[in-house]
Structure formats: C-alpha cells, structure tokens
Amino acid sequence: MDKISVYRFLSAGCNACDVEVLECLAPRYGLASLGVEVVEEPEKANVLILTGAGTVKGREALLEVYEKINPPKIVIAVGNCSITKNIFDKGYPIIGPLNKLIPVNYYIPGCPPRPQAIIKAVADILGVKIEEREEWWQTPEGFRGRHEIDREKCIGCGACAQICTADAIEVIDGPEKRIIKVNYVHCTFCAFCQDECPTKALKLTGAYHLLTNDLQKARVENEVNLLTCAICGGTFFPEKQIDWALKRIVEEKAPIYRDFSSEILDAVKICTNCRRSVESIKKAKRLLTKLSEKARATVLRK
Amino acid sequence: MPEKVYIGPYRPQLVEPERFELLVEGDRIIDAKMELGYMHRGIEKLFTTRTYMQNLALAERICGICSGVHTLCYAQTVERLMGVDVPERARYLRCIYMELERLHSHYLWFGILAHSLHEHEIFAKIMGEREIIQDLFEYLTGNRINYAINTIGGVRRDITPEKAEKIRKVLKTLRSLSDYIMSLLDDNGVLTKKTKGVGVLPRDKAIEVGAVGPVLRASGVTSDVRKDDPYAAYDKLNFEVIVEKDGDLRAKSLVRARETYESMKIIEQALDNLPSGDIAAKPGEPKVGEEIGRTEAPRGELIYYIKSNGTNIPERVKVRTPSYANNFAILAMLRGEYLKNARAVIESIDPCFACTDRVVVVDARTGVRRIMNLK
C-alpha cells in the first residue's frame, strides 16, 4: 500500500480514543511522516479506524461507511470499547463488539491507547520501523498499562475480580485449579485491582504496545491450586489463600492464638458443605471455647 | 426559496457524530434543528448496576475530555451521602488536578477552533504544544486522558515535591502558549478577524436558553460554581471569574484564554499552600436518601444527583452535563448566521456530545422533539 487514507468513525465512546487518534497527527508523533493522512470522506479512504462501542443509532451509518471504503479495506479497532464494549458492555443501546458487524483486521487495546501505541501499531501494520529516541516514548513510573500477575505472590482470592469496574477479571474454578483471567481488552486500566490486591501480586506495568489480531491471546492468566476438603475430598478454596489467611490471623491480627494454629488450620480446611455437619459444628464450638478461654486468660493476666 | 443543509452526523469535520439540519436562505441560516442520540450509551442505567466504587470508572467515561471533573462531582456527591470528611490535602490536590484538566480542555478547544476556521498552522502549533500537559498527566496519574485520580474520600495519587517542581516547569511553558493565543486574539490578531461578531449570544438570550460556563460568561453574566458554591479548596484560593461582554465567538475565546491564566494562578497557589496529611479518607456507608453535587467543569456547571437506598449500589444517578445546557445556545446563535460560519459556531460552545447524549434519551419520553425545535 503506497498511501494510507484514514477515515475515523466514532460510535458511542467517551471520545478519548478519538482525541488520541487526532493527537497522532501532531508534529511530534508524525503520523503523516509514515505516509498516513486523515480524510473527511469514506470514499477517499482505504483504512477505517473505529472507536467507541457502537449503538443502535449508528449501526446503519457504520455499515454504509464500510461499504464505501476502498480496498484493501483495512479496519483497525482503537480502544477497548470498539474491541469488546468495555465498561458499556451491558448498556441497552450498545450493539457491539463491532467485529460482529464488520470484519476487523487489527485491534489496538487501551483505554485510551497512548498515541505512541497507535503510531507503533500503524508502523507494525505497515512493516516500518520507527526510532524511539525521545524520552516520551518511555512510560513514566506508575503508568497503567498491561497487567502482570506475580505467580509466587498471587493467592487466588479473587478480590481483583470483585472490585473490577468493567468485568475484565474472571475467576474460573476448575476441578483442581482456579484460573484468574485478566482480559485486558475488556479493561478500563483504572488500577483498582492493583490497589485492592492483598498481596500486591497484580500490577499494571508499563507495557502499552498491545497491537494484536487475535483476541484470544489478549489476556494475562494465573493458576492456583485448590485445596481438597479434609472430609469429603472435594475442592473448594485456593491453598495459598488459606495459608495467607492463617498467617495473617496468628501473626498479625491475633498473635495470642499462635499455639492453636494447627487446630485453626484443621477447622478451615473443611468445605462449606461439610462444615454444616453435626460433628464439624461440635468441633468448631470446642475450638472457639478454647480460643475464648485463652483470650480471657491473656486479658486477666494483663 | 429556503433550502436545507445537513451537517453530520458522521462527518469528521465535527469531532463527534451529531446531526444538524439548517434551513438556509441565500447564505444566511434562518432556522436550525439538531438531532442528538448518536452517542447515547445508557450510562444512567449502567450506574444502577454497579457499586459506588466501580461507578467512578463509569463516570470518568461519560466524557473523555473532562473526565476528571465527572469523577470529582460524582465522588463529592457520594461523599456527602456517606458523610465522609475529605482531608485538607486531598482538597488542594483535587484543585490542582482539575485546573490542569481545565487547561488541557481549553487548549484543545483552541486547537479545534483554529481547525474549524481553517487555520491549520495554529491548529498544529496548539495541538503540539499542549502535548506536554498530557505528558504531565501521564507522569502524575498514570494515564493521559482517563486519569482515575479521584476516589471516594480523596485522591489516589499524591504530588511529591519533585512532581510539584515538574508542574511548575510545565506551567512556565504553558504561559507562553497562552500568551501566543492572546496575541492571536488582540485587536489585529489572526483569530480576531474571523471571530469578531460571529455567533453573537446576547446576555438576555444566554440567560433564556440556560447557557452555562464560558458561553454564559462571554455574554456578560458572572457565574462560576467555584465562586458561587465553592467545593474542594476553591474557597481558600484566590482567583477571578472572567467575564466578557460581547457574546460573540471572540468573547468566548477571550474568556477561555484568560481563564487559562487564572487556572495557572490557582495551581501555583495550591502548590505553595499544599497542607500536609492524608490524601484520602476511608469511605463509609451510604445513608438512605438523596444528594446533589455540582462542580464547574471546563465547559460549565456539571450537576450530579444520586439517590441511595442504603445498599452499596445507587438506586438512581442523574447527570446534567454543561454541553446539554449549552446546546440550545447553538441553535440560538445559528439563526441569522452566515452558513460558512456554522461549524465555528457549533464548536464555539466546546460541545461534548459524549456528555450530552447520555442525557437526551432520558428526556425522550417527555418529548425530545419539542425541546429540539426551539422556536
């Protein structure tokens, strides 16, 4: 392709991605120097850039614009809304993801992607190399880019999935393992998961060049082993989470119970169903009595 | 014989999809109608399906340009519902972040104004120079546009002395950009010729159509939520409300250009007087009841209404965005205007249709048609 003429189509997003695409035209980023121009009519374009999640009202216009684009009709979805609907997933007028309506060739994830990410993506698509001499190609410390899970630290508690603002994080319990799946093309990069993670295992890194043409690969995963119930043998809870919780109880929150750590461990290793059996309730009551006696003795000694 | 001219919806001449129907006689516009809804995403419904914390990210995505002030207004309203006392330092930090946002929004507007007046050199210069403020946001908050900086009870990232130094440095550069814009708007400036007398909104009309923010202030009305109903730390900071009398596009430009200096003044004062302490308080339980919060967004007064039933999910959230209020000003200004100026007039209110469209369908049942076809 000698010349790339881009037509922008914004269909119900927050605007940020569209502003970033415009920003790429600024001399600093030099989209024009890659031989790219932005045109105002779809008839003159051969590349379509989509932003936004797509609404009922814009559907006809989108199909019409796609018809008018000249070959080779390359379609690039910029931003997570156009890729997966992102935070607007369950909105009633939203008809996306747009790849259901028209074929999409490339995806540039981000919320919004940095202009640097868009430029790099365009360069990759064209097969051109760009020099990253200036400082602004680097991400500053604390940049919220693609996630990374520390496999050693992650205890599989699922707090990240609970707080997630856009349902990007899934917790899938298998027969033996629990999978924490961060679907970063469905993410708002708000970093609440990072703040919420009790062991600081989940981090947002400086990785921002996330161009892909296969959405199945656009995820970060971690597996944790599930604990088997001491009575029935079924799986119910991540092993590491139990260890972490027990350590927190006997070391940080209530060091006076340290002598009982093995008994507490026995009590929590029973799945929710078995905990309701008569025997388990009796056992738990005996343990609680012991614990409260110990607590009372400690208080009296003081 | 009048003829009809359509602008939009999907024309990249406008930044966002919106459809205007202009009735033209000769080269004058005699009537204007507008059709909204191309950006409607059902956000108010989505608000009632998420927790108060999760809604912060949603409020941010109502608009990608004034994203920070949306979360601030939302957070302040929720804080009132929860009875959270925001630490003093967080209040000052909020002012700094919000004024930086006002700067970037106003500069973006100047860029788009120059573009719509076919001044492509000015457009390129402003868009290029305003990049440093986006870089600053990335450095301070971790993202260029959706900063996710406000949280219920305060802010999420602190400003360390090194960061403060960097902000001061950036402000120095921005001051020269503001000077450049002011030079374009002085009596012989390039933009003055193209904006003087265009899209006049007289004072009475501005009040009648319910305009807000810079559009209202350019018509000679003193109105600014930061002064009238101070929030964050604005009651402790010294600044001036900029008012111009003419009501034309030049007055609107001047208001915004002079406001950038005030914003810089606010940021510098806040940095000088930054109190020590926590940057966020712990959120509490929402009480049963309703609250209203308002802030001064770059485009004008932004209002949030939240009704709580005591659970962690709001029962109703209503947002009145400034662009919605200003849309009626567009129609008033378009009547009697030359057709060649139509685009500049539409851009003159700094329209943010991402904001507006969330609102319009809520009103649909009560008769959007009637509202749209202003007599």
Q: pLDDT of A253-279, one tens digit each?
A: 888 888 888 888 888 888 888 888 888
pLDDT recorded at residue B371 = 31
Cβ A58–B38 below 8 Å, yes or no? yes
Across the interface, of B16, B49, B53, the residue whose CB is closest to A163 is B53
Residue B83 — left, alpha, or beta (φ > 0 → left; ψ -120 to 50 → alpha)? left
Please give the residue that has the higher pLDDT: either A24 or A161.
A161
Q: What is the pLDDT of residue B198?
A: 87
Of A25, A58, A142, the CB nearest to B17: A58
Tell me whether residues A26 and B128 touch, CB distance under 8 A: yes
The number of folded domains in chain A is: 3
Six token digits for residue A45: 């374009």
The residue-averaged pLDDT of A210-232 equals 89
Q: What is the ipTM of this complex?
A: 0.90
CA distance B108 to chain A (A): 9
The reply to whether A9 and A119 lie within a common domain is yes
Query: Residue B353 half-sphere exposure, CB side, CA atoms within 13 Å?
Result: 26
DSSP code string of B320-369: E-HHHHHHHHHHHHHTT-BGGGHHHHHHHT---HHHHHHHHGGGGGGTHH
CB of B52 closer than 8 Å to CB of B77: no
Enter the tokens of residue A201: 């295992």
What is the mean predicted confidence (pLDDT) over B101-109? Answer: 92
**Chain A residues within 8 A of B67 when measuring between CB atoms:** 14, 16
Where among A226, A260, A292 does a domain terminate?
A226
Calculate what percentage of chain A has a pLDDT beyond 70. Answer: 99
Q: Which domain holds residue A276?
A: 229-301
Count how many pairs of residues, chain A against chain B, have C-beta atoms within 8 Å. Answer: 161
- Asked whether the predicted pLDDT for residue A239 surpasses 50, the reply is yes
Domain boundaries, chain B: 43-372
How much is the average pLDDT of B91-117? Answer: 91
Identify the three-state secondary structure at position A91: coil
Residue B357 has pLDDT above 80, yes or no: no
- Three-state DSSP state, A162: helix
Mean pLDDT of A230-258: 86
For residue A151, tell me if it sits in a domain.
yes
pLDDT (tens digit per residue) in A49-103: 998 888 888 888 889 889 999 888 999 999 999 999 889 888 888 987 888 999 9
Residues A133 and A13 in one domain: yes
Give the residue with greater pLDDT, A226 vs A300.
A226
Same domain, A161 and A188: yes
pLDDT band for position A233 (cuts 50, 70, 90): confident
Confidence of residue B361 (pLDDT cuts 50, 70, 90): very low
Same domain for A38 and A52, yes or no, is yes
**Do residues A49 and A15 lie in contact, with contact meaning Cβ atoms separated by under 8 Å?**
no
- The enclosing domain of A38 has a CATH number of 3.40.50.12280
The answer to whether residue A70 is domain-embedded is yes
Angstrom distance (rounded) from CA A144 to CA A129: 25
Q: Is the pLDDT of residue B255 over 80?
A: yes
pLDDT band at B365 (very low <50, low <70, confident <90, very high): very low
- Is B67 in Cβ contact with A91 (below 8 Å)? no
- Mean pLDDT for B115-123 is 85
Q: Which residues, listed in sequence order, are joined to residue B304 by a DSSP beta bridge?
A: B293, B319
* Residue A23: band (very low, low, confident or very high) from pLDDT cuts 50, 70, 90: confident
Partner residue facing A61 (CB), from B10, B134, B143: B10
Whether pLDDT at B359 is above 80 = no
Average pLDDT in chain A: 88
* Co-location of A233 and A117 in the same domain: no
Tell me which residue in B128, B143, B352 faces A144 most closely, judged by beta carbons. Answer: B143
Mean pLDDT of B32-36: 78
Look at residues A164, A192, A226 and tell me which one is the last residue of a structural domain.
Answer: A226
Domain assignment present for residue A222? The answer is yes
- The identity of residue A60, as a single letter, is E
What topology does CATH give the domain B43-372?
Cytochrome-c3 Hydrogenase; chain B (1.10.645)
For chain B, give the percent of residues with pLDDT over 90: 59
CA nearest neighbour of A260 among A293, A300, A226: A293
Interface residue of A50, A84, A190 to substitute, partner B, most B CBs within 10 Å: A190
Burial class (CB in 10 A: 0-12, 13-18, 19+), A152: exposed
Where does a domain end: A226, A261, A278?
A: A226
Q: Are A128 and A36 part of one and the same domain?
A: yes
Listed residue (B8, B245, B136) closest to A142, CA to CA = B136
Residues from chain B that touch A90, judged by Cβ atoms under 8 A, are 46, 49
Return mean pLDDT, chain B: 86
* Residue A262, helix vs strand vs coil: helix
Q: CA–CA separation, A280 vs B322, rounded Å?
A: 61
Shared domain check, A200 and A113: no
Distance CA B114, CA B96 (A): 27
Task: Indicate if the pLDDT at residue A120 is higher than 80.
Answer: yes
Q: What angle do CA B365, B368, B373 make, to 5 degrees?
A: 160
pLDDT band (50, 70, 90) for residue A36: confident
CB contact under 8 A, B64 and A26: no
- Note which residues in 319-358 of chain B have CB less than 8 A from chain A: 352, 354, 357
Q: Which of residues 149-208 of A touch B (CB under 8 A)?
A: 163-166, 188-192, 195, 204
User: B43-96, pLDDT tens digit by residue?
Assistant: 899 999 999 999 999 999 888 888 899 999 999 999 999 999 999 999 999 999
Q: Compute the average pLDDT of residues A161-171.
A: 92
A142 falls within a domain: no
Q: Read off the pLDDT band of B369 (50, 70, 90).
A: very low
Closest chain B C-alpha to A257 CA, distance in angstroms? 29
Hey, which residues 142-201 in chain B have their CB within 8 Å of chain A? 142-146, 148, 156-157
pLDDT tens digits along B307-351: 999 999 999 999 998 888 888 888 888 888 887 787 788 777 777
Least confident residue range of A8-17, A183-192, A233-242, B20-29: B20-29
Which residue(s) pair with A108 in the sheet? A78
CB distance A98 to A77 below 8 Å: yes
Cβ-contact A259, A301 below 8 angstroms: no
**Cα A43 to Cα A37: distance, rounded to the nearest angstrom:** 14
In the predicted model, is pLDDT for residue A186 greater than 80?
yes
Distance (Å, whole) CA A139 – CA A34 = 22
Cβ contact (<8 Å) for B53 and A192?
A: yes
Residue B353 confidence (pLDDT): 60
Q: What is the DSSP letter of B196?
A: T
The pLDDT assigned to A116 comes to 92
